[in-house]
Structure 1
Amino acid sequence: MTAPRILLFVAGVTVMAYGAVLVLDLPLRTIVLIAVWAGGAVIVHDFVFAPLSAVLGYTGRRLVRGSWWPPVAVAALCSATLILLAVPVFDTPGAKPDNPTVLDRDYPMGLMISLLIVWSCVPLYQVGAALIQRRRATT
């Protein structure tokens, strides 16, 4: 192993040990809830998200052909990430009438704008790739 790998390994183990010490300082009920939540996340990933991603990827690959596939796949992945990040605040569960500074943005509109930007990059990528390919062909 090289020196940078050893340093990264030591740093990772140190941070992991520090996190374990912090968790062990919590009440037992909280530790159990963390373990249940983490276990549930693994189960949901393995039995819902992973199969769904495989089916969507397989179907998408059959529907979107040629050079359009890579940018569409990247845009779909970015869209899924944006949607998952927006879920906790989408219906403003923490908003309080007496404190308008909590969740003070229009999150649904922000999500729509973000998705529009992501998907508008797909044709822009195609135009850029075509220009690069044309430039390479002329040189």
Structure 2
Amino acid sequence: MRTRLALGAVGVLVGLYGAFLFLSRQDPAQWLEVALWFGAGVVAHDFVLSAALIGVCLLGARVLPRSWRAPALVALVVWGTLTVVAVPVLTRGGARADNPTLLDRPYVATWWALSAIVVVSVVIAGFVRSRRAHGEE
């Protein structure tokens, strides 16, 4: 319990420090823009991404066999996070013609390779779980 309180106190202090830096170093005219940006992120996450994830999970619970549900859910969360994080580089946002060293990696191929790893992992986990489930019956 003490550890949780200590971690919570550290988190609150770091948050307060961040708020102080924001308020002391940011132009007050931009505060509304920042608030809107944060608000849009919360709305996008809570009402779009989370709702879509819950819908897909409910559909998966009806369609997939019991032994495949957990691996598929893990894959959905991992692949979704991977994709959301990769969107800026997949769309080449920030690439500039005057600096060819920006975004000079094969990001799309890497995303496909990581996606394939996720799919293969799910297939392996699903088969292992289904074999165990049939062995226990």
- TM-score strictly above 0.5: yes
Task: Show the 5 A alignment for 1:5-20.
Answer: 5-20=4-19
CA apart distance, 1:77: 1.1
Give the structure 2 partner of residue 63 of structure 1.
63
Q: For 1:75-131, what per-residue CA distance to the aligned partner results, in whole angstroms no more than 9, with x for missing partners? A: 111111111111112121222233221111121111111100111001222455468
Structure 1 outlier segments of 4+, above 3 Å: 126-131
Percent of residue pairs identical: 33
Give the structure 2 partner of residue 77 of structure 1.
77
Task: Show the 5 A alignment for 1:1-139.
Answer: 2-25=1-24, 26-129=26-129, 133=132
Task: Give TM-score scaled by structure 2 length.
Answer: 0.85
Q: For 1:17 and 1:123, how far apart are their aligned partners in 2? A: 45
Larger RCO (CA within 8 A; separation ≥ 6)? 2
Q: For 1:61 and 1:81, how far apart are their aligned partners in 2? A: 20
Residue segments in structure 1 that go unaligned for 5+ positions in a row: none
CA distance 1:64–1:39, change in 2 (3 Å): same
Q: For 1:98 and 1:27, how far apart are their aligned partners in 2? A: 30
Q: Which amino acid aligns with 2:21?
A: L
Residue segments in structure 2 that go unaligned for 5+ positions in a row: none
Q: For 2:9 and 2:38, how far apart are their aligned partners in 1? A: 25
Q: Which amino acid aligns with 1:20?
A: A
Q: For 1:115 and 1:81, how far apart are their aligned partners in 2? A: 11
Q: For 2:16 and 2:72, how far apart are their aligned partners in 1? A: 40
CA apart distance, 1:51: 2.0
What RMSD, in angstroms, separates the aligned Cα atoms of the two structures?
A: 2.1
Task: Give TM-score scaled by structure 1 length.
Answer: 0.84
